[in-house]
Amino acid sequence: MVISVSGLGKAYPVRQGPWVTLGGWFGLTPPQRRWVFRGLDFTIGPGQAVGIIGANGAGKSTLLKVLTGTALATEGEARVEGRVSALLELGMGFHPDFTGRQNVFLAGQMLGLARPEIAALVPEIQEFAEIGDYFDQPVRTYSSGMFVRLAFSVATAVRPEVLIVDEALAVGDIYFQHKSFARIRRFKEEGTTLLFVSHDPGAVKSLCDRALLLGDGRLLMDGDPDDVLDYYTALIAERENRHELVSGGDQFQGRSGNGKARIDSVEILGEMGEAQALRVGDAATLRIRFTAHEILPDLVLGMLIKDRTGYDIYGINTHQRPHLPPLGDRPGQPRTLDFRIPALNLGAGSYSVTVALHSHADHLHDNYDWWERALVFQIVPNHRHGHFVGVTALQAEPSMEETAS
């Protein structure tokens, strides 16, 4: 195991009034502590890519700090084996008056590299950071983006055995994000164990093969990123609505809601009627039957198409569609809403459809019925479109104009 955590707990002392503190000195009042988490147990094997998710304040950053040794565990044990690179507090050791180049040497030494080793890495670091002449300017003159670019480039100059990333702290501008993710992905493919904290479900799904959900001071779920993120989404919605979560054993069933309105059926229709498989570019209709069980003036119906890896492809809902009649004004009466799709320009593969009934623009207000993967359908190649790769059929047409020489 590369990372092993057992009975891990972290608490911070609670600030108290002067008399209580005084009492504490004399052993009269026990010190008060607030646990961020307690009793964490998990192991991570070599080469695994694990995402850590959870609400703000769930303890994700604290867990990473304990794993990297910048915070001490209050109880239990956390062991990390191998050369670790942590993208947590990027550029922490940078000296503002030193140039980028000088800081590279400084940071390299802190990473345990010898001077000649760093010297050999400098051109590559300089090229990756793409900060131009600023490389030889004092770091205090950098924009925050330049700072991140340089710090990321140094911290990842050598492929680590374990890479720990807090996305919120480790990203620069969009262009650099793409570049850094490409590097992180390459490390992962080359065998680096990855621990990745992010608020972006798409990033966790596409990078990680396992996810841990932190909440209520413990490990709420450990499993496939799709399942964990689905559970998390429903949990947020449920928390907001304080209704019971439909959960059977370990396997989350993917359906939650307070039942004031209910989705009765979801089907996809091609030209010939109901279909499980459609061709690239076919016209299709997503037909949803639902019933409101009381008058719900703000009833909104939404659908979300995801690819096989759970990545959001397309989502839409009926909020602010003035041409539609109200959805929730006829309690008890089953109704049908069609989403007509003129051309299903998706790549070949399987897709799932999540359907939800909620109020306002999103399900965080009132979640009446949230049905994850209510339907799975297949897109098969269509000879009219020719061969292409990817999830969208953009129908790019090559053309060339001969220029007179």
- Tell me which residues touch ligand ATP (CB under 6 A): 12, 36, 54, 56-62
Alpha helix positions (H), 38-140 = 60-68, 100-110, 115-129
Q: Which residues contact 269 (CB under 8 A, 6 or more apart)?
A: 275, 284, 285, 286, 287
Q: Read off the DSSP letter of residue 134.
A: G
Nearer to ligand ATP, 59 or 100 (CB): 59
Residue 319 · residue 357 · CB < 8 Å: no
Q: Vertex 259, ends 253 and 229: CA angle to 5°?
A: 35
CB-based contacts of 176: which residues, under 8 Å, 6+ apart?
130, 145, 148, 149, 152
Nearer to ligand ATP (CB atom), residue 66 or residue 375: 66
CA atoms within 13 A on the CB side of 227: 15
Cβ of residue 163: shortest distance to ligand ATP, in angstroms? Answer: 18
239 to each of 55, 142, 213, 235, 329, how far by Cα in Å?
11, 42, 15, 6, 26
Cβ distance to ligand ATP smaller for residue 148 or 266: 148
What is the smallest separation between the CB atom of 104 and ligand ATP, expressed in angstroms?
Answer: 28
Residue 205, classed as helix, strand or coil, is helix
Radius of gyration of the chain (CA): 26
Q: How many residues does the chain have?
A: 405
CB of 142 to ligand ATP, least distance (A): 24
Residue closer to ligand ATP by CB (options 60, 260) is 60
Complex with ligand ATP: residue 61 or 103, whichever CB lies closer? 61
Minimum distance from CB of 217 to ligand ATP (Å)? 9
Element (H, E) at 248: strand 245-248
CB of 312 to ligand ATP, least distance (A): 21
Minimum distance of ligand ATP from residue 193's CB (angstroms)? 20
Nearer to ligand ATP, 36 or 278 (CB): 36
Give me the least distance between CB of 166 and ligand ATP, in Å please: 8
**Which of 36, 73 has the CB closer to ligand ATP?**
36
CB of 361 to ligand ATP, least distance (A): 23
- In the bound complex, what is the minimum distance in angstroms from residue 352's beta carbon to ligand ATP? 27
The smaller minimum CB distance to ligand ATP, of residues 60 and 188, is found at 60
CB-neighbour burial class of residue 171 (10 A; exposed 0-12, middle 13-18, buried 19+): buried
C-alpha distances out from residue 62 to 58, 140, 241, 290, 324, Å:
9, 28, 28, 44, 48
Which CB sits closer to ligand ATP, 164 or 278?
A: 164
Number of DSSP helices (H) and strands (E) in the chain, helices first: 9, 20
Rounded to a whole number of angstroms, the minimum distance from the CB of residue 37 to ligand ATP is: 8
Three-state secondary structure call for residue 132: helix
By beta-carbon proximity to ligand ATP, the closer residue of 51 and 59 is: 59
The three-point CA angle 382-383-389 to 5° equals 65
Q: Which amino acid is at 92?
A: M
CA within 13 Å, CB half, 263: 28
**Cβ(239)–Cβ(258) below 8 Å:** no
**DSSP β-bridge partners for residue 223:** 211
At its nearest, how many Å lie between ligand ATP and the CB of residue 208?
Answer: 17
Quote the CA–CA distance of 72 and 13 in Å, as a whole number. 13
| Encoded tokens for 382 | 């269509």
By beta-carbon proximity to ligand ATP, the closer residue of 208 and 344 is 208
